Structure 1
Amino acid sequence: MTSQTKYRQITLKHLLIANKKMIGIQFYPDKVLQAMVKSLPGIKWSTRYQMAILPNNSQHLTRIFNTFKDVCGINCHYFFFNRPVSHSSTPLSVDQFRKRPVKGNWRHCPDDFYQKLEIRKYALNTARSYIHLFERFINYYREETDLINIHEFKIKAYLQTLVQAGKSDSYINQSINAIKFYYEVVKEMPNRFYAIERPIKKESLPKVLSRGEVLQMIATTPNLKHRCIISLLYSAGLRRGELLDLKIEDIESQRGMIKVTNGKGGKDRYTLLSQNTLQDLRAYYRTYQPNTYLFEGSAGGKYSGTSIAKIVTRAAKKAKIRWRVTPHVLRHSFATHLLEAGTDIRYIQLLLGHNSTKTTEIYTHVANSSFKQIINPLDLDKNTMDISTTSV
């Protein structure tokens, strides 16, 4: 591709028009591209979608690639869905859901739903959520034997019932994601739900503990294993799933680092290993002698996520913290305390595994270092306050 054409690009999308699968060609107005698009046999224009359209078949797809491959970029991100969302070498299996016995007339997800989750290596928690939420949806419309016939207005009506039932914005968004996953990814159909509106995203601030409260939680936890869990969640800024996935060799004590393998988004990273926590970890290892994972259940294997949540909640109560503390609150506290101590936000981004500092910047809204130089007007010296005593 020459320098003159490197800024040209077409984007391919799936569309469903009059129940027929179509290829949508989206592009920025350009005389060369317009002429080439018009040259395609059978090309039409969709006013609704503002795209050029062709019937979706292998002949038209091949013609598009042959026509444009040497002229401009071809963005297939929305068209080919089989690329993995995770680069983990551990395959996802959803056989536990696929092989469930049918209870009554409850309808399970179609097999191609499970298959696509496995092909794209979705995280197990995401897969579990999608299966649960999509089954709720298809059982709401149990009379529809062909899922393709469930149109946009029915999806809107279903989402309205979720709102009326008081479901959270997160629950509704995840429901939309599960529904769109089936139609757009599994069935490789269009982005057909343009008019489906999501709840307005609330910009809520993360809940954060003071450093003293975290230390009190650790100090009032006598169980060595539980104390190590709380200390690691905080001192390494780990997500709960990342803690559960830690293996013995991930604790690199000589380097003072912890390797996080296959974190959120399938990314590996390094984070900090506290020397104080390391002392407890060595005592824990001698006492419990785990085999593979750093924290294992009584019968071996990976520790339970529910148990982690209970450990944190119990420790918070013992520390007399009056609001609900979750494992993720400890991660938020880690990031906030680093920021308050003057750590560059770019380093905090790397330690947390964020894709961008924009995600990490949320902690600037809760870090007290931003406000330390501001004197509250009630605390100003009386001699410096300009108070008028003139009567009106």
Structure 2
Amino acid sequence: MNQKDVLYLNQRTYEGSDYCVLYFKSNEALLDRIANNSWIKWHPEMKAYTTPIKHNTIGLLQDVFEDIAHVSTKYYQAEIKGYTEKTVIGDKIYFKGILEPKNKVGGIMLVPYKKNNERLIIIKYKYNKRANQVLVKNKYARWNAIVKDFTLLPKLSILYHFIDSVSEDLKIRLHNELKITDHRIIQKLYEQEYVKDRFFKSVPLAFLKFMQLKGYSENTINTYYYFVLRFINCYKHNSIDEINSFDSEVINKYHELMQGEKAYSFATINQSVNAIKLYYRGYVKRELEVNEVIRPKVGKQLPKVWSKEEIGQILQSTENSKHKALLSLLYGSGLRIGEVLNLKLNDIDSKRMRIRVLAGKGNKDRYSILGSSILDTLRDYYKEYKPTNYLFEGQFGGKYSATSAGKVLKKAIEQSGVQKRGGLHSLRHSFATHLLESGTDIRYIQELLGHSSSKTTDIYTYVSNRYLEMIKSPLDDLIIKKDVKLASEQQTKEI
């Protein structure tokens, strides 16, 4: 006999009215039962199903769900911890239902393969029994004895159906050399993380096409797609047409709730505002006035910077020649991680001691400096790894991934004993700050960093010690005067 699901009830007050809130793991049977009882309604502000509290509310709910779930009042009066899209009840996490992540058994990477006239897509993955079983049972994946991996025929229809058939169990990533332009496949990949219940709504494909035609970067498209997906699924029982007719007041309320959850930074909420504004302007063809959409104020955040000594410790703790070359280049030339990963072998000009950066941020080309110590490190790395196209290549060829680079830095920091934490971009921040402290003109730093505006580069004047060290605290004068007075009194006593 299968154990019944548990449906927890909790009393909440919202804008002066009392509600009974229902918390449960996503379940089609429960959702069907709710759909057949119109007095149980989705509450977008509380992100849960609710019903107004009456004298017989609990009894009615117990009757409605008696055969499919145990209705628990254990936490009815409790203050339940809630954050982002989750609610903690006791020691278990119950989702409120905006975007519920799936539990998957493993991950795979789809890698293009070409040898002679044969073209395939190889399915690469770290072996585990459950992931292997998924692939063995899949009718689109075939074991290839020559490459000793599961493979797919390189057809869009097969790729689409394969992703659709395994995304419930496997997290799918594309190798950076496998270029997919089919919008349906891209949509599948963007939405594969989330449970799709009967009320799940996909972002209209036309919005995805609009962003691609406008030339937005892959990262921006992915980010904006997520924020619009979250927005439209917050309103479970509204159709896309109804959501498209929302005004600024609804959007403001939505972002106020995000802000109230205190799980998102102001910068993140600003990204959501930008994404939703673009959705209405680009897809719905409705221009929302900027002054009607309330934006949270983003405070000035100073960049995280390591000292030269700390940088030295981090680099010295990295024994792997590839990892050392990667981190050395990020710090020594001040490049963004995406720019480093896009570098090809012929972008390193050892004669002129320059690094050519093609299509950097804003699609601009520029040069940066190549230090002699970096060149030596790169040569040691090249002799050992022998990359063929990109300067830094991944396990299966093609560009090295930013995720792997982040793990390299994290491990190096832990091994170095440096207490100050930071990310890959902190190496670039440190490069700029140390140049400024050594007397380099800020205009040259702006050129090396590829900043369009000097205002962006000016932030480093706030973290540089160059001028701070020249300024004496007024407290020092008070201490000096106090010491002089004490010395004078001592002399008087001696006389």
Task: Please report the TM-score for the alignment, with normalisation by the length of structure 1.
Answer: 0.72
Q: Is the 8 A contact 1:94 1:118 kept in 2?
A: no
Residue in 2 that maps onto 1:289: 386
Match of 1:153 among 216, 233, 249: 249
Task: Give me the whole-angstrom Cα distance separating, in 2, the residues matched to 1:93 and 1:327.
Answer: 29
* Residue in 2 that maps onto 1:111: 205
How far did 1:160 drift?
A: 1.7
Alignment RMSD (CA, Å)? 2.5
Which deviates the most, 187-196 or 92-101?
Answer: 92-101
State the secondary structure of the residue aligned to 1:229: helix
Q: 2:144: which partner in 1?
A: none
Which structure 2 residues correspond to residues 162-241 of structure 1 after superposition, within 5 A?
162-166=258-262, 167-241=264-338
Give the drift of 1:317: 1.7
Once the two structures are superposed, residues 340-392 of structure 1 have per-residue CA deviations (whole angstroms, 9 ceiling, x without a partner) of: 0000000000111111111111111111111222234566698777966799x
**Partner SS state of residue 199, structure 1:** coil
Contact (CA 8 Å) 2:356, 2:367: kept in 1 or not?
yes
Q: Does the 8 A contact of 1:92 with 1:124 survive in 2? A: no
Alignment partner, residue 97 of structure 1: 186
Gaps of 5+ in 2: 1-178, 490-495
Distance 2:237 2:256 in 1: 19
> Counterparts of 1:149 and 1:386 in 2: how far apart (Å)?
73
Aligned counterparts of 1:376 and 1:155: Cα–Cα separation in 2: 48
Which protein, 1 or 2, shows the higher relative CO under an 8 Å CA cutoff with sep ≥ 6? 1
Distance in 2, Cα, partners of 1:254 & 1:385? 60
TM-aligned CA deviation for residue 125 of structure 1: 0.6
Distance of 2:363 and 2:390 partners within structure 1? 19
Give the match's secondary structure for 2:445: helix
Which of 402, 406, 413 is the equivalent residue of 1:305? 402
Q: Which residue of 2 aligns with 1:132?
A: 226
Equivalent position SS for 2:293 = coil
Q: Structure 1 residues 288 and 369, CA, compared in 2 at 3 Å: closer, same or farther?
A: same
Cα distance in 2 for partners of 1:259, 1:384 equals: 57
After superposition, where does 1:261-276 map in structure 2 within 5 Å?
A: 261-276=358-373
> How do 1:1-392 and structure 2 match up within 5 A?
93=181, 95=183, 96-100=185-189, 103-105=196-198, 106-145=200-239, 146=241, 147-166=243-262, 167-377=264-474
Query: 1:186/1:386 Cα in 2 relative to 1: closer, same or farther (>3 Å)?
Result: farther
State the match for 1:5 in structure 2.
none
* Aligned counterparts of 2:478 and 2:259: Cα–Cα separation in 1: 52
Distance 1:259 1:109 in 2: 38
Higher Cα Rg, which structure: 2
Aligned equivalents of 1:109 and 1:99: distance in 2? 11
State the TM-score, normalized to the length of structure 2: 0.57
Secondary structure in 1 aligned to 2:304?
Answer: coil
User: Distance between the aligned counterparts of 2:463 and 2:432, measured in 1?
Assistant: 10
Checking the alignment, whether the CA contact within 8 Å between 2:330 and 2:424 is kept in structure 1 is: yes
- Residue 117 of structure 1 aligns with an amino acid whose one-letter code is M
Whether contact under 8 Å (1:93, 1:118) holds in the other structure is: no
Amino acid across the alignment from 2:260: Q
Q: CA separation of 1:194/1:374 partners in 2, compared to 1, >3 Å: closer, same or farther?
A: closer
The 3 A distance-change label for structure 1 pair 302 and 94 is farther
Post-superposition shift, 1:155? 0.9
Q: State how far apart, in whole Å, the 2-side matches of 1:347 and 1:354 are.
A: 10
* Conserved 8 A contact 1:92-1:118: no
Instruction: Provide the identity percentage.
Output: 42
> Which 5+ residue runs of structure 1 have no aligned equivalent?
1-90
Following the alignment from structure 1 to structure 2, what is the Cα–Cα distance between the partners of residues 337 and 222? 24
**Number of aligned residue pairs:** 301
| Aligned-residue offset at 1:224 | 0.3
Partner SS state of residue 372, structure 1: helix
Distance apart, 1:143 and its partner CA? 2.4
